[in-house]
Chain A
Amino acid sequence: MPDGRTVAADDAIALEIVRNYLMRTCEEMKAVVVRAAYSTVIHEVLDYCCGIYLPDGGAAAEQSGIPIFLGNVGSVIQAANATIGLDALEPGDVIIANDPYSGGSHMCDTTTLLPIFDRGEPFGFVGFRAHLLDYGGKAPGGLFSDTTEVFQEGLVIPPVKLYRAGEPNPDVFRLLEANTRFPRENTGDMRALVSASRVGHERVQELIARYGPGRLRGMFDELMDRGERASRAAVEQIPDGTYTASCTHDGTGSDDAPLDGPYRIAVTITVDGSDMAVDLTGTSEQLVGPANCPLGASISGIRAAFKYIVAPEYPTNEGCFRPLRVHVPEGTLLNPRKPAPTSMYFTPVSSVIELFQRALAPAIPDRTIAGTFGDICVAVYFGKHPDSQQPFLCSEPEGGGYGASPQGDGESCLVAPLNGDTKNVPIEVAEVKYGVICERYELVPDSGGPGKFRGGLGSVREFAVRADAEVGVSFLFDRQLEPAWGLEGGRSGGLNQAWIDRGTPAARRIGKITDHTLEGGATFAGIAGGGGGWGDPFERDPELVQRDVRDGFVTFEAAARDYGVVLDRDTFDIDQDATAALRSDRGSK
């Protein structure tokens, strides 16, 4: 427990007001960036995180559009302190960094830091992290499956000053603009990050003026203590014990030239009272290809996985994670050594969230689910709009099925757990902006893992290249080999898939591909798989199976094969005798 430091009685009220003010400040900062942003990855995918931090990087308040970014800014602050140093900062400075090995994740993820001073003394930082479009590298968009060094992935920016004492540092701006294919978009988004950070800075100054720096700092400490208490109370609800889980990813490289074969992510969680220790020993050695996740980002992933289970509603600050101890062996793909490439860092780290669910499901079945489709399933397409000749780039995740639980079926077509309030680009917007034609965007029948409770359905989205156009595509779909797992007798969901010219004689199933050119008339399709089922599908209420068939979520064949339910093809009526026969036949085996 904390050292018993408490705030005075009337501070209990001020504390709530300050907490709400900090959360609102994060909201306000987010609104500026999301609404002014150029990059779809910011304004639709919400690939951002922002917060108010102590000088050492601890978050007093933090908010992210996607869960995976939690705590990532703090590692960049630590890196900046180690290189630039607090003493070398002055009011109005803005630090920028994207170096995966200075607390970052992959090259596009850009952090800006704005130091806060009180009468010359460092008080903390306003931090913002967001995914910018492009820093050069071998193909547009910074998403590659086949790099072998971080240097191939774009311009590495260690913490440097983008602004000095409020004035732009033109040398750095010129350097950055010379190293991107989308200078207008990148610079516009950087401006948005700085504007938002200045808003955050103003708000913290208002708080300092109102409460004084000492009292405010005391309240930050108290908020963290309360965050710790909330987490500890929640960890105590989990039965003591050691829980393990693992899963396998497909590999890296491209279909023609693979770099790595299947690799493994392993998680061991030990719960002891209100403490939780997480050990990723058993995870594969670092890879040749880019599915490596730098340590800072791995810790963020572990924090996200923890927060899904431990007091998820409680506002995030550094204290929430004090009960968590983490061990990630150096040299594994979740703690790689420079210059291992990291473009696909999100693929392995997303599994950490999933494996927390898988490991803890037996202990806390009412708070966990069976496997999801397991990868963000990102496709990138880029080119020139055939009408305006404007260059464009779209990188978007697909929505797949979530796992079932003892409380019900899984949800269909949602972004992966490492994403959050991430919206798709509307078809009508995509067609205007990128000059492509969408052929279909639908749920995939039978993709939900059968179970007493069924997994959610995946989706298929297929685009055609206009006859007068040419489009480059990169597909980074993983988990095409290991499907979403079921629990307690529930079965697997349908697999993730990527296709070129699906359903034609030239059809080609894609594992991974980077910067592949498609001519006019070609199609490309992403299929996100379904979620895993929960419990024996032969125990599913036949009327639920009937409803699924009527709704088109399960086919007649699958109803009989996977659920042992026989339906009349015209009336959808349940054939009771045939169903009883099928179900008892299986039961007697």
Chain B
Amino acid sequence: MQELNASTVRVATDVGGTFTDSAVLDEHGHVSFEKAPSTPADYSQGIVDCLGRHDFTAEEISSMVHGSTVVINAVIQRKGAKTAFLTTDGFRDLLLIQRHNRPQIRNIRYRKPVPLVERALQLSVVERMTCDGTVLRDLDEDGVRAVGATLRDAGVEAVAVCFLHAYANPAHEERARELLREEHPQLEVVLSSEVMREYREFERASSTVVNAFTRPVVSRYLDSLERALELRGAQGELYVMNSSGGVMSPDQARWNPLQMMESGPAGGIMGAVELGRLIGIDDLVAFDMGGTTVKASLVRGGEPAVLREYEVPGHHPLMMSVLDIVELGAGGGSIAWVADDGTLKVGPRSAGSHPGPVCYQWGGREPTLTDANVVLGRFNPANFWGGELQLDVEAAEAAIKSHIGDPLGLDVTAAAAGISEIAIASIRTAVRIVSVERGHDTSDFTLVAYGGSGPMFASRIARELGLRGVVIPFAAANFSAWGMLTADLRYDRSQTLVRPTDQVDAGQLVKQFELLERELDALLEHDGVPPEARSFARQLSMRYAGQEHTLEVPVADEPERGALDEVVARFHELHEIAFKQSVPGEATEITRVGVTAIGAMAKPQVRPLELTSGTAADALVGNREVLLEREFELLPVYDRSRLAVGAVVEGPAVVEEPTCTTLLQAEDHAVADRYGNLLIADADVLPALADRANATEAAHA
């Protein structure tokens, strides 16, 4: 593993639309968090501002992990390079035809997403490969040169080249790049066979176009960030958070910007994975609830679920590795409203941080989930954000009465409780989708809840869905930034290879795996990862012969014939889990070989707290009337920071900290572990959870 220099700090920064967040781990193992406004004109300014609020100098930075919405924003706002598209003759309209589907099935006026490439720059040349990579028609080299000249004259910055079956033989794409560069040396040429060697031409073309469109944007962005850090004397390595839960080098981010698409949420999930490792929990659901949305992701055996397709909301599908995150529009700022037919809805519109919930008194007039929580006594109006913001309970009540209570004929309490129940139903749905609907038994899983609103609802959700227990991490509200500090380098490569499993030559398969591994090994080598810190995980995409969709099946190192039988058996098992049916004995097919490379990075050392002999009573700071589900009751309120390790709090109760509030249900028992996490479960389950959490210090020795 790469060693940390003892006199340096590690930094994570996450640039969002409104705020830039940072987490800094110093040489003593202390983590601190800061926040500054984002600066869209030059995002590096906001990052520098944010880091300036911490107590260290740039020279001390040993490494920085960076997450950003720059790529997804460039696509949604359509602000990217002037991009062209070149494909095989006969298929010029690929970006317009798309998949000829109408996703809004009852909207007869449906309009397709508009391509990022203007029509005049969607071009084709004569060439053709067959699906096994044989040349059917030679590349028209003069045609490519003519295209190069056209693009030069039109001032095009980048071109996405996607020829049919280039995943099977990239020769024509590679030759086209040479010819295009001869005519237009400044042209950024992105080949589909480099972005993704998999079949499905529209998705591959769409991925290649988004890559080309955002590549110059990301290059400029990272150049400017590196310059800003260098100017201030920072020497450390920069890493970029990627969507599959790892970090990558800036060069890889420049080369395949798609992988930055979901870099923010990935941080929290990897934080949950690392936290789970720290306290001995392998099977968990990461549950993140902020101002706008609720997100849920499943981690099984310490591995987060990864999907191989993604869609920029309302835009084009992309082929990329991305953590399986289910996101629904329900957060603290989600607005409650009454629909035409008299039903109560919460979200997807959010008041965000501006104008924010009514109780903030920042101009918000529509009631939000946070307003309901204030009315229900769940937030302490005098200790919100540590008392920085005085919440206006009356204003929240008035808004809920006029917008929700009066139209529905409910009193304020019932209306607020209704808002809360609708939001809880959304959370339940998100958690159910990643667990129950994916065929998992929830009783094997623990909920790790973070984000500003996550802890409030966690124990209720865990009880309703029958999860084992809940962990509220230390620094729950800043957990995503902390999580970025824990990520390893991660790169994925794959290759379409369609074969009946019983006709597969195991030697050929091993060769394919090794080919991919060599490429990935070179990347890790380039990133300076020592050989002992490199590891590779192989997968096959498989299905029953005749099916279309596939399942990802992990493969041990040497798929000899016998081992291949094990892979097939594993496929049947996974099919049974996912679809509640399997047919052992039925013929299967392989469609893809894939490899994930990991370069292990040093993990932040989390220092255990001193064991003390305090009891829960020492942390009791008062009582207040709170409505948990049905009616108000007087609940004890505890200050989380005063809670001694090992002290047990019995629910129902409220546990407060400056940035979030945890609610304990009637049967809950909660205890702080030695890392400052709050563990919540039934009285008979809790001791086992706590013992494991306190026993696993070896993880970071």
Contact = CB atoms under 8 A, between A and B. Distances in A.
Contacts of A192: 579, 581
Contacts of A172: none
B435 to A, nearest CB: 12
A64 B165 CA distance: 34
Contacts of A175: none
A438 B87 CA distance: 14
A168 to B, nearest CB: 12
A184 to B, nearest CB: 6
Given A12-B410, A35-B579, A226 B345 contact: no
B581 A191 contact: yes
Interface string B77-96: 00000000000001111101
B96 A413 contact: yes
Contacts of A431: 130-131, 165
A12 B407 CA distance: 12
Contacts of B112: 411, 414
A417 B203 CA distance: 24
B583 interface: yes
A195 B580 contact: yes
Interface in A220-252: 226, 229-230, 233
Given A421-B103, A428-B165, A441 B437 contact: no
B345 A16 contact: yes
B100 A415 contact: yes
Contacts of B437: 28, 31
A28 B438 CA distance: 9
B429 A424 contact: no
A441 B93 contact: yes
Interface of B: 90-94, 96-97, 99-103, 105-112, 119-120, 130-131, 136, 164-165, 167, 199-203, 340-345, 408-410, 414, 417-418, 421-422, 425-426, 429, 432-433, 437, 498, 500, 544-549, 575, 578-581, 583, 586
Contacts of A369: 108-109
- Ranked 3 nearest A-B pairs via Cβ: A420-B105, A399-B100, A440-B90
B100 A12 contact: no
A12 B97 contact: no
A493 B33 CA distance: 62
B573 to A, nearest CB: 15
A576 interface: no
B408 A9 contact: yes
Contacts of A357: 108
A28 B580 CA distance: 12
Interface in A190-238: 191-192, 194-195, 198-199, 226, 229-230, 233
A44 B92 CA distance: 23
B424 to A, nearest CB: 9
A17 B422 contact: yes
Interface in A520-575: 550-552
Contacts of A399: 97, 100
Given A17-B421, A411-B112, A551-B119, A442 B100 contact: no
Nearest to B167: A428
B91 A427 contact: yes
A426 B201 contact: yes
Contact of B546 (A24, A188, A226): A188
Nearest to A13: B418
A233 B97 CA distance: 36
Given A21-B429, A369-B109, 18 more contacts: A13-B344, A16-B344, A43-B548, A44-B548, A66-B105, A188-B546, A399-B97, A411-B111, A415-B102, A421-B102, A421-B103, A428-B199, A437-B130, A438-B90, A441-B93, A443-B93, A551-B119, A552-B119
Chain A's interface size range is: 35 or more
A145 interface: no
Nearest to B94: A441
Nearest to B166: A428
Contacts of A313: 106
B107 A312 contact: yes
Contacts of B340: 230, 233
Contact of A415 (B101, B200, B417): B101
A12 B96 contact: no
A207 to B, nearest CB: 12
A459 B100 contact: yes
B154 to A, nearest CB: 13
Query: Chain B interface mostly helix, strand, loop or mixed?
Result: loop
Contacts of B345: 16
Contact of B199 (A15, A66, A184, A429): A429
B91 A441 contact: yes
29 contacts: A9-B414, A12-B343, A12-B410, A16-B422, A20-B425, A24-B429, A37-B548, A37-B549, A185-B546, A188-B586, A192-B581, A230-B340, A308-B106, A368-B108, A369-B109, A411-B110, A414-B100, A419-B102, A420-B103, A421-B101, A423-B101, A424-B99, A426-B203, A431-B165, A432-B199, A437-B136, A443-B97, A459-B93, A550-B120
Contacts of B107: 312
Contacts of A307: 106
A32 B438 CA distance: 9
B549 A35 contact: yes
Interface string A33-72: 0111110100110000000000000000000111100000
A321 interface: no
B489 to A, nearest CB: 31
Interface string A437-471: 11111110000000000000001000000000000
A73 B203 CA distance: 34
Contacts of B544: 38, 188
A405 interface: yes
Contacts of A437: 130, 136
B480 to A, nearest CB: 27
A206 B299 CA distance: 25
A44 B578 CA distance: 19
Interface string A152-176: 0000000000000000000000000
A283 interface: no
B138 to A, nearest CB: 16
Given A12-B344, A432-B498, A443 B421 contact: no
A230 B341 contact: yes
A422 interface: yes
Contacts of B422: 13, 16-17
Contacts of B167: 428
A388 interface: yes
Interface in A336-376: 357, 368-369
Contacts of A424: 97, 99-101
A10 interface: yes
A37 B119 CA distance: 36
Nearest to A31: B437
B90 A199 contact: no
B665 to A, nearest CB: 17
Given A411-B112, A414-B110, A421-B103, A426 B200 contact: yes
A232 B330 CA distance: 30
Contact of A459 (B97, B105, B119, B417): B97
B463 to A, nearest CB: 14
A402 interface: yes
A35 B97 contact: no
B579 A32 contact: yes
Contacts of B201: 426-428
A19 interface: yes
Interface string A66-107: 110000000000000000000000000000000000000000
B400 to A, nearest CB: 13
Contact of B547 (A24, A36, A226): A36
A35 B90 contact: no
B440 to A, nearest CB: 13
A64 B93 CA distance: 29
A230 B341 CA distance: 6
Interface string A383-411: 00000101000000011001001010001
A369 to B, nearest CB: 6
A269 B119 CA distance: 41
